[in-house]
Amino acid sequence: MRILKAASFTLFVFGLLGWLYIVLNSEIHPWTLSMQLTHFLPFPREDTAGEISFVVSLVSFFVWNLVKDGQR
């Protein structure tokens, strides 16, 4: 359970940071949202990466809270 707790919290933090990066990026230059995230692959685009980061953060936060409350 400790590994699941640590992994879910880490995914929550990094998913949230990735989402915040895309949000700030969209405020500074929104025309890049439809561009690919990396030049190596055509997928994901910046907006798709933001959506994936948000979902990872949301699910990981939910799992982290379940595991955290279960250890009390």
pLDDT tens digits, one per residue of 16-44: 999 999 999 999 998 888 888 888 888 88
Q: Is the pLDDT of residue 72 over 90?
A: no
The confidence score (pLDDT) of residue 53 equals 95
Distances (CA, A) of 41 to 3, 44, 46: 32, 7, 12
48 Cβ contact partners less than 8 Å away, ≥ 6 residues apart: 37
How many Cβ atoms from other residues are within 10 Å of residue 36's Cβ? 15
The confidence score (pLDDT) of residue 34 equals 85
How many Cβ atoms from other residues are within 10 Å of residue 49's Cβ? 20
The confidence score (pLDDT) of residue 1 equals 79
Distance of CA 2 to the CA centre of its chain: 21
The whole-model pTM stands at 0.82
Q: Is the pLDDT of residue 70 over 70?
A: no
